[in-house]
Structure formats: C-alpha cells, structure tokens
Chains A and B, each alone.
Chain A
Amino acid sequence: MATSTTDAPLVRPDSTIVNAVKAVALLRESPVGLFGALIVLFFVLLAIFAPLVSPFDPNATILPFAFPGTAAPDGGVFLFGTDHLGRDILSRIIWGGQRVLFYATVATISAYIVGIIMGLAAGYFRGYLDEIISFFANVILSFPIMVLYVLIIAKVGASGLNIIFAVVFASSPGIMRIVRGVTMDIATRDYIAASQTRGEGPWYIMLVEILPNARSPLIVDFCLRMGYTTITIGALGFLGLGLPPPDPDWGGMITETRAFVTGGFPHMAILPACAVSLLVLGFNLLADGLREVSLKD
C-alpha cells in the first residue's frame, strides 16, 4: 500500500505557500475576485517587463504639452501624451508602477513579518508580553495614519528605505492585532493541546500548528494592505514626501501636473490617478474575492 503518494506528507507538513496557491486557485469561483487578480497580474507583468514595453525613456524630455495620440518627433506615438516637461506619460506610468509595486511589496512583507511575530507571541504567551505589545500597538494605531507618515518622513527624510520603515512602523500593529486575535482563538483548540502534550516547543506550535490555520484571514488582509500601501506611497509622493525625483512615481506625477488639469491638460494628472486607482481596485477586488471564496469553504 505504501505508494509514493502517501510518502511526502508524512515527513513534512504542507508548506504555507502550497496552501496559499491552492487558495488563489479557488478564485475561479468568484468572477469579481478573478477580475481583481487579472488587474494585479497585468500591473505585475508591466512592472517586470517595463524595459521592454515602455516606449520611451521615462525621464527624457522630448515634447512638452503633447496630447494623447500625438506623434513623437523621432518616431513612435505618445499614447498617453506628455507632461509639462515633455516626458512620455505612458512610460512614466509603467516605470512608476514598477517602483510602487516594488516598494509596496517589500514594505508590506516586512510589516507582515514583524506583525506576525508580534501577534503570535502576544496571542500565544498572553500575560505581560501581550499587554506590552498591545499597548504599543494601541499607541501607534491611535495616530491618524497620514499624520504618522508625515511626522516620520519629515523626521527621517524621504527615501525608499525610509518609506519601507514608515510602512512597517505604521501597519505592523494592525497586522499584529489580527494575528493575535486568530492565535488566541486557535490556541484553545484541542489539536494545540495535543501538540503541547507531546512536548512541542512554543515556536513549533506557533509556526507549524497555528500560523497555517490563520492563512485565510491573513491572505485577504495582505491584499487589502498591498492596496493601502500603494495608496500611501502615492499619497507621500503627492505631498512631496515620497520617493525622490526625477524617477517617476504616480503620486509625484499627479502633484507635479495637477495645476494643468484646470488649465486644459487634464490627461497629465488624470492618467496616473487612474493607474493608481486601478491597481488599488485590483487588490481590493482580489481581497474581496478571496474572502468570499474562503467563507464558502
């Protein structure tokens, strides 16, 4: 009977990644979620293949104030037009998307690592550790989030690393709260008692017994947070606290050109605004679809 199919699971538990992929595969049940996933996938592909698909150098000043569809002097077309400095907006959106996605992903994953560790520890050990962690989470969460970002970035200066730092600082408490709640719930299950009575250590229990069972709410939350971090990075750019120019950044593009919206060149600011909204919409729809699917099961 010992066939190869029964071999693998005995030695090691299913990885969380395998489970996550399975959860995403379920998305075909939710058209809305699938649509969101396609939007996100579209932007991810654009980001990966930016050098190939971007028609112009995003920082090159070619022809100022061109409307969408204008032909470029050296061949090619400004599909989305150019901005006041004559840079191709489509190329800037593509490269800006790459930047946003990169920083949003790194920042959110870092926030997740911190938040998960804190949440597991607080929810599993309880007691003073929990009270201390929860107190500081409450302190951070009681800042209006944009106020917190402005304060941090104004203090430490605007750079990619600092944005990541700010995102970790501002959003890991929220992640911690979710993980803590789920951990406290799962910790009361009999299978946790069973693992304790075979002498498993606390980190084995937290990481192998508890964490995989918290995956559905975490995956949903991760997508939402990716959207929110995208918004935040854009907002910082908009306020002039974002990634340093001249490399394109959606929020920065909007703020640089928004004066021209009422001056007859709306496309300069509106197209990056649409890009950011569309990517966020993708994340939100994906999160919603995943939630719907996970509830059905």
Chain B
Amino acid sequence: MADPNGKGNGSGEPPVLEISGLRLSYYTRAGEVPAVMDFDLTIAKGESVGLVGESGCGKSTVANGIMRYMGKNGGIVGGTIKFQGRDMAELSEEEIRRVRGKDIAMIYQEPMAALNPSLTIAAQLMEVPMIHEGVSEEEAFQRSFDMLAAVNIPDPKRLMDSYPHQVSGGQQQRVVIAMALLSKPALLLLDEPTTALDVTVEAGIVELIAELSKESGASLLYISHNLGLMLEVCDRICVMYSGEVVEEGHIDSIFSWPKHPYTHGLFGCIPLPHADKNARPLAAIKGQLPLPHQRPKGCYFGPRCESFQAGRCDADHIPMEDVHTDDDPAHRVRCLRWNEIDHDAVVSNETTREPIEVGDTVLEVDNMRKYYDVKESTLATLISREAVRQVKANESISFDAGEGETVAIVGESGCGKSTFAKVLMGLETATDGEVRLDGTDLGSIEVKKRTPEQLASLQMVFQNPNDTLNPSHSVGYQIGRVIKRFGIESDPAKIQDRVHKLLDTVKLPRAFAARKPRQLSGGQKQRVGIARAFAGNPKTVIADEPISALDVSVAAAVTELLMDIQREHRTTLLFISHDLSAVRYLSDRVVVMYLGQIMERGTTEEVFAPPYHPYTEALLSAVPIADPEVEKRRIVLEGNLPSPLDPPKGCPFSTRCQRKVGSICDDEPPPVRLDTEGHSIACHIPLEELREVEPVITIPDRDLEATT
C-alpha cells in the first residue's frame, strides 16, 4: 500500500514492518482470550505510526507480539510479522534475541518499573552495546554517556553512577529512551511512554521523541490512548477497537474526516477547547468495550453504535474498506455504512443545557495552611530531638464557592490538591486558617468530631475506581450503609428503596446492588462512588480526579453524569484535576496550584486567557489537544518539580519558570496581583506586562458544524 504522505518511502525500499492477519491470544483458566484479531499494519522506513484505542483493546499485546514476547500465557495464533523483509516466525530464539534491543527497541509506560532497581544506570546502559556489538567497556561507557547527553539529561556524569530510584520520573524515562536508542534500532515501539508522567514533564518527553524520530531515521510505533499526543508525534494513525484496527489513515485525514462511528465517538468524548458544558456538552459513547471473549457477532462496535443496522451490522465480520479520498489514499475503515452515515450529524450533540445559576456562598476557604511534620532520623536529630522538618503542603489557600458552582483546583502531582481535599473532609486538620461550610469552621474539626449533618453535607468522590469500593461488600451494602449512618432512613426496606433510586440516578441497573465491586467495570465503580457520595444529599462534593483513571469514552459519561446530578441537587462541586481540558470544560472558576501555593485564581475565562500566570501558561501549552486546527504556542519547561520538602525560597515556580525575571524570583515570594475582582496572579511580573502575552491556544473561528 503506497503512502505518499509517509516519509522516505519513495525509493521502493521494503517496509520496516509488515504485519498481516496477526492473531494473538492469552490462555487463562477461563479459556482462550483472543486479545488481537486480524491485525494488519505496515510501517515504512522513518515513518511514525500511532496506535490509539481504549484500555484493553490490545495495543500492548500487539507490541509484545512484534517483539515475540507474549509472556507465560500468551501466544501467536496466526498471521505473519515481517521485519525488514524477514518473517519473524522463521527466526530462531537466538536470532530473535539479537533482533531485540538491537533492531527493535521498546520503551515502556512505567520507567521506574522498567529499570532494574539494584543496578546503576551506567551498568544498564552499557550492557546494550557490549552485548549486541561486543564493544569494550570504555567505548560502551562513552556511548552511553553521549546518549544521555543526547536525550537532554543535564548532568550525565552524575546520572551514570546513580541508581534508578535516585532520579525523577522524567529523567528515568529519558534513560529508558537512551537505552532504546543506544544500538540505533530500525524500529522503536513506545507503549504509552508518557502516561505515568506529569503534563509539563510529558511535554518535554514528547518533544524529545518527535525530534529523535526525525534525527535517527528510526520508524516509530507510538501506542497511546491519547489522540492529542498522536497529533504531535505521528504521521499516520491506526484506531484500534476490541482487538482490531477499525480505521487507519494519515493523521490529517483521520482528524479532519473520521469515517468510523467509533472514531467520531472518541472525538465527541474529548473536551476540546471549544466544548462547553452547557452549549455543547460531551457526547459519551454508550456502553463499554466488550471483553475479548464476549465480542458480538458482526461489527464489534455494533452494540455501542448509533448507526447500527440490524441484519447488516450483526451479520458477518466486517472487512476493512478503502476510503477513496484524493488527499489520503491510505485511509481505510472497517464499517459497512461509512459512506451512508451523515458524518456531520454524528458529531454534534444537540442537547444543550441551561447554565446553572450560582447561589449564595456555601464554602469559604480563608488563608488555610496545612504543614506536615516530617520526622528525620539522623543521629544528630536523634540526640538534639529537633527532628522535625515541615512540608508546606498547603500555603495560604483562599477562595470561596457558591451553591451550584463548580470550582476546579488544578495542578500537577505534589501540588497539594489531595491534602486540601483531606483537610476539607476532616481526614487532616488545618494548621492555620479556616474552612467554613455554611459559616461553621470545619478546618479544625477532625472527622471523628463532626456531626452527622456536617459529615453528610460534605462528601467525596475518589480517584481510583479500584480503591473506592470495599471489595468485600456488595454495592448495595456500601450505599445503604451511608444512608443509615446519616440517618436518612433506618427501615431496611426504605434503605433498599433509596439505594435503588440512587442506582437509577447514576444510570446503573438495580440488580447491581447485589454485586461485588470486582464484577463491575472501572466506570461503573466510579458511578457507585458517585451514588455513595450523593446518598446523603451533600451540599458540597469534592471530586478528587474522578475521571483520570478512566478511558475517554467512559470518562465523558461519568463527567456528564456528575454534572447532571450536581445540577439537579444544586451541589457545590470542587473538582480536583490535573487535566486542564476537563477543567476548562466543566468548571466555572479555577484555582491553579503549584507546590502548595495558589498561583492563579479566577473565572474559567479569565484563567484561560491572558494575563496568564507563567505557570498557567506553561500548563496550557503542555496539554495535548486532539484538534489539528487549534494552534498552540509551544512552551517546554526545563527541569523537574522540586521536592515539596525542599521548595525554592522565593517563588515556588522559580526553578522552572520560562519568564523568570531574575534573582528577585529566587529570593522573594511574589506579590498577589489583582487583575479583576476575582482574578489574581501571584508573580513578580507586573500585570501590564502579562496582559501583553499572546494567547497560548488559538481556536479557529468555527461554527457548530465543527469538523467538516
């Protein structure tokens, strides 16, 4: 298949990788799990191909299949994988070993886990050229050293002698990348290489990968669940669904003219910059990914597809079809009805909602501080007994929220978001300042001392779906217990009735009351978590990253659900997140935090437009946006998040700030400058100057028909 848009394919060279009809299975005690079905993929020399799809659709399995490393219970059932023209199945174990790490290298999601904890980084790097090319130790050292420098590691010498746990996550990932590139592989497989990293760190790694792929001439298979990232790295993408490719093509044509209802659906789920919770709500895809051994007949996407046509879509297995467009002859799709569907209609969500009227102030946070004492156990401190250092997890947090309002708290890991939630919930008490709910200061009352009304009026939705429910008890018991505790009902029959109503509210079948959490999917568990939080009619709900562990299509549904219930109950919602896209989409006001301090605060429009705080600006730029027409100014931050144990003396952001004005930033805490009544920025740069800054994101002027 010719691909005029691919790089370096003009000379008629054979493709680097040619997969056809690949079938991969796992063997479990429940039987065979056909994880990947009829998978075809061709990667030309120097080309970067993205593989995108939801969790469990088989992306990692494909990568492992290419490496012929399927683990103990996996196997290649059918199809061929040709690497540089050679059929991998015909290679001996020893030949495959020599291909691995030399010609095909892999980069993984969790860099910390991928590195051996008890070998130095030097040892782990050097063994690659020493074993594959038999070079001397000196040369291996030199090459490793140079490679670390090439992946922009500031102090390679020090790093070489370090153990993996001594360096930050971003640097670990750079080490893994360096390790992969050491033997100049022809093909690089990247399996979600940035998913475990903070956005600003991710931005740096993505830029590095894009650069390296250009320089080294290696072909790339970039696996991710994030369409936005694809846009920054790939030439071509394959959209995977339930073990097979459903649509593939050049990146521009997929983003501009998606043909498969699933691809459409994915775009509808992503809170793009022009989405709006009232005027243009997200359109979640109904249902969820089928398990590999429960795939429906015909089109695997059938049960979730809005264009499903009985008799046709559920008859035979759907083949891939060429979409003959002039721009991209390689665009192919696995849908019977791709040229019957009205592609404009599929995207736009007709439902609009009335904006919520924000009521009286419910929650006031006033100069709240939370310091943790960290005990140190050095000999000196053991004797002097002055063993405590303080971590300032929250430093003078002030803001308020009205009835029915959504306030987002954004920031990267370690910025103190979760500490703040804990103080609010009473799991920790504030060191100083007040947190008033309806006028009563709760900040100093720990949870044990709160009255049932106080407890009921402030509830929480947790981040990790697998952790939010007790695996030993049924869903019904866990919701019912809340109802009983808060004294809403005491009669078992009435409790049960209410549990059923709550399940209705979160759109789960009533029969789920008898289920154990392990029988639920991640999204369903999150729904139960929401039902539990709303069981006592709370005034305020704190949602701590409620959707960050969910797949896009599920996340969209959970987000919409959360907002519907909030709207109905006029609940104040504190939405804690690291995801600026989601925040922009659903919040009325935003608080941006960094290392425990508020950097910027204001309404969503104010925060997302100049004047920006330099950190907000960097954060905005770092968020990948799955829309090729949105223009973005690129700001890549240097360095890593400082340890909260040892924050910079002046402005917390001074070690990484792209607009740092000088030593004043290092030495003096920045003043809080008021732009408007509710919009404040903590920075040494005067507001006038910040107002001059160009917007980071430029959304093209488009009407509602959007992607056509």
Q: Are A and B part of the same complex? A: yes
Residues of A within 8 A of B (CB): 1-3, 5-14, 19, 29, 189-191, 193-200, 208-209, 212-213, 215, 296
B514 and A194 form a contact (CB under 8 A):
no
* A196 / chain B contacts, CB cutoff of 8 Å: 427, 447
How far does the alpha carbon of A94 sit from the alpha carbon of B472 in the complex, in Å?
39
Q: Is the CB of A191 within 8 A of B468?
A: yes
Q: How far apart are A32's CB and chain B's nearest CB, in angstroms?
A: 15
**Chain B positions within 8 Å of A9 at CB level:** 473-474, 476-477, 513-514
Would you list 8 pairs from A and B whose C-beta atoms are within 8 A, ordered by A residue?
A6-B514, A10-B476, A190-B468, A191-B469, A195-B470, A197-B447, A197-B458, A209-B470
Specify which of A189, A195, A199 is in contact with B467 (CB 8 Å cutoff): A189
Give min CB distance, B380 to chain A, whole Å. 22
B455 within 8 A of partner (CB): yes
Q: How far is the CA of A11 from the CA of B529 in the complex (A)?
A: 19
Q: Which residue of chain A lies nearest to B426 when distances are taken between CB atoms in the complex?
A: A197
How many whole Å from B478's CB to the nearest CB in chain A? Answer: 8
Residues of A within 8 A of B482 (CB): 198
Interface contact A10-B447, CB-CB below 8 Å: no
Partner of A2, one of B468, B471, B500, B532: B500
Residue B126 is within 8 A (CB to CB) of chain A in the complex: no
Contact B474 A14 (CB under 8 A): yes
Nearest-CB distance from A182 to chain B (Å)? 13
Residues of chain B having any CB pair with chain A under 8 Å: 29, 425-427, 447-448, 450, 452, 455-456, 458-460, 462-464, 467-474, 476-478, 480-482, 485-486, 492, 495-497, 499-500, 510-511, 513-514, 529, 532, 536
Most buried by A among B468, B486, B536: B468
B513 proximity list for chain A (CB < 8 A): 6, 9-10
Do B470 and A10 have beta carbons less than 8 Å apart?
Answer: no
Asked whether, in the complex, the Cβ of B477 is within 8 Å of the Cβ of A200, the reply is no
CB-CB nearest in chain A for B467: A190
Closest to B449 in A: A199
Closest CB in chain B relative to A67 CB, distance in Å: 49
Which residues of B have CB within 8 Å of A19?
472
> In the bound complex, what is the Cα–Cα distance between A191 and B510 (angstroms)?
22
Quick one: closest B residue to A9, CB to CB?
B474
A165 to chain B, nearest CB (A): 33
Residues of A within 8 A of B478 (CB): 191
Q: Is A1 a contact of B455 with CB atoms below 8 Å?
A: no
Tell me the complex Cα distance, A29–B427, Å.
42
A6 contact from B426, B472, B511, Cβ within 8 A: B511
Compute how far the CA of A191 lies from the CA of B481 in the bound complex, rounded to whole angstroms: 13
Task: Determine the distance from Cα of A208 to Cα of B459 in the docked complex, in whole angstroms.
Answer: 21
Number of A-B contacts (CB under 8 A): 104
Docked Cα-Cα span, A213 to B467, in Å, equals 12
> Are A198 and B481 in contact, with the CB atoms below 8 A?
yes
Taking CB atoms, residues of chain A closer than 8 Å to B448 are: 199
Residues on the B chain within 8 Å of A200, using CB? 485
Interface of A is mostly: helix
Cα A10 to Cα B447 in complex, Å, equals 25
B473 adjacent to A13 (CB under 8 Å): yes
Chain B min CB distance to A147 (Å): 33
Q: How far in angstroms is the closest Cβ of chain B from A183?
A: 14
Q: A1-B510, A198-B455 are in contact. Are A13 and B462 (CB under 8 A)?
A: no
- Contact residues in B for A213 (Cβ distance below 8 Å): 470-472
Contact partners of B481 in chain A: CB under 8 A:
195, 198
B485–A198 touching, CB < 8 Å: yes
Selected from A10, A193, A212, the residue in CB contact (under 8 A) with B496 is: A10
Within the complex, what minimum Cβ distance (angstroms) separates B290 from chain A? 22
Q: How far is the CA of A190 from the CA of B458 in the complex (A)?
A: 16
Docked CA distance A119–B492 (Å): 33
Give the chain A neighbours of B477 by CB distance below 8 A.
9-13
Q: What is the CA–CA distance of A261 and B458 in the complex, to the nearest angstrom? A: 75
In angstroms, Cα B472 to Cα A19, docked, is 8
Docked complex Cα distance between A5 and B510 (Å): 11
CB-CB nearest in chain A for B509: A1
Given contacts A191-B478, A195-B481, 13 further A-B contacts (CB under 8 A): A9-B473, A10-B480, A13-B473, A14-B473, A14-B474, A193-B427, A194-B532, A195-B470, A197-B427, A197-B455, A197-B460, A212-B473, A213-B471
Bound CA span A296–B476, Å: 27
Chain B residues with CB under 8 Å of A215's CB are: 472
Distance between B400 CB and nearest chain A CB, rounded to angstroms: 22
B468: chain A residues at CB < 8 Å are 190-191, 194
Name the residue on A nearest B492 (C-beta): A11
Check if B455 sits within 8 Å of A199, measured CB to CB.
yes
A1 and B496 contact, CB distance less than 8 A: no
In Å, the complex CA distance between A196 and B500 comes to 24
Residues of chain A contacted by B480 (CB below 8 angstroms): 10-11
Most chain B CB atoms below 10 A, which of A1, A2, A10, A12? A10
